[in-house]
Amino acid sequence: MIRKALLPPPKRKKPRTGNRKKTILKLLENDLSQRVSYEEYREKVRDVYAGPQGALLSTASLLSLHVHLGDRLLRSRKFDVRGAKSILDVGSGAGQIAKHLLKYADADAEITCCDLSPEMLRRARTRLKNPLPSHVAADLCHLPFADGSFDCITCGYVLEHLPDARPGLAELSRVLQPGGRMLLLTTEDTFSGAWTSRFWCCRTYNRRELYETSHKLGLVWRKELWFTRMHKLLRAGGICVEIEKR
């Protein structure tokens, strides 16, 4: 079988420019996940999404155009969910991505929505108004699924709620079948990403470092995805990639 060519690693920033940028972003970015224990931070995240901010999530996604742009990502088959029979939507939130999956996945595909916050899962059920997806409250670092349970995973803006990406990526790799594909979206270490981290109490990730961490875990970046040409030109919208498990 002929495999697609690997996506080359993102370029490193020039040292002087990179160091200056890192210093500024460090001042802007929310650093709670680095200052408290994982258990304390996890409870904080659960509280954030159970409260007013979580209630505004679906509205915020509409205003930021993420709902519209996410729909187009799957509708245009930039990330093609056809043929997937068991799909896990991690960090399902208010069901933003799950709604797209219900529209564009095969009719017989089993969809599981997973989120740390039971309150967000309740909101997702109300918003989706569809009995087909199952809803599971779980921590990304301790998913209650057997090895290789899914042939497709969507993980939208949840990895940044981990102090370290490795445990979360390792768990995603564990439950994904060899040859399975994943759509990963996460907040990048840009100025807009830093402001996002303040509002949602999360961290950001460096594109090249996340690429290298993923590859060490057998999660190969196949394709960088961009919502629009303007997003690609401005390097905006965060990290959005199609990943395949070796």
Q: Given this model, what pLDDT does residue 18 score?
A: 61
Assigned domain for 4 exists: no
Assigned domain for 2 exists: no
Domain that residue 133 falls in: 28-245
CB 219 within 8 A of CB 245: yes
Assigned domain for 126 exists: yes
CB 159 within 8 A of CB 203: no
Question: What is the DSSP annotation of 73-98?
Answer: HHHTTSS--TT-SEEEEET-TTTHHH
Q: Given this model, what pLDDT does residue 13 score?
A: 61
Assigned domain for 90 exists: yes
Q: Given this model, what pLDDT does residue 5 score?
A: 53
Whole-angstrom distance between the N-terminal and C-terminal Cα of the chain?
A: 13
Helix (H) or strand (E) run with residue 177 in it: strand 176-186
Q: Given this model, what pLDDT does residue 197 score?
A: 93
Assigned domain for 95 exists: yes
Nearest-10 Cα torsion for 128, 129, 132, 133 = 40
Name the 3-class secondary structure at 28. helix
> The domain spanning residue 212 has which CATH number?
3.40.50.150
Assigned domain for 235 exists: yes
Assigned domain for 201 exists: yes
CB 207 within 8 A of CB 28: no
Q: d(Cα 65, Cα 161) in Å, to the nearest integer?
A: 22
Low-confidence ranges of the chain (pLDDT < 70): 1-5, 13-18
Q: Which tokens hold the place of 102?
A: 């219900």
Assigned domain for 135 exists: yes
List 235's β-bridge partners, or say none.
Answer: none
Axis crossing angle, helix 191-200 with helix 15-28, rounded to the nearest 10: 20
CB 173 within 8 A of CB 245: yes
Q: Which tokens hold the place of 125?
A: 């059920």
Q: Given this model, what pLDDT does residue 1 score?
A: 38
Give me the number of domains the chain comprises.
1
Q: d(Cα 241, Cα 148) in Å, to the nearest integer?
A: 21
Q: Given this model, what pLDDT does residue 16 score?
A: 56
> How much is the CA Rg of the chain, to the nearest whole Å?
17
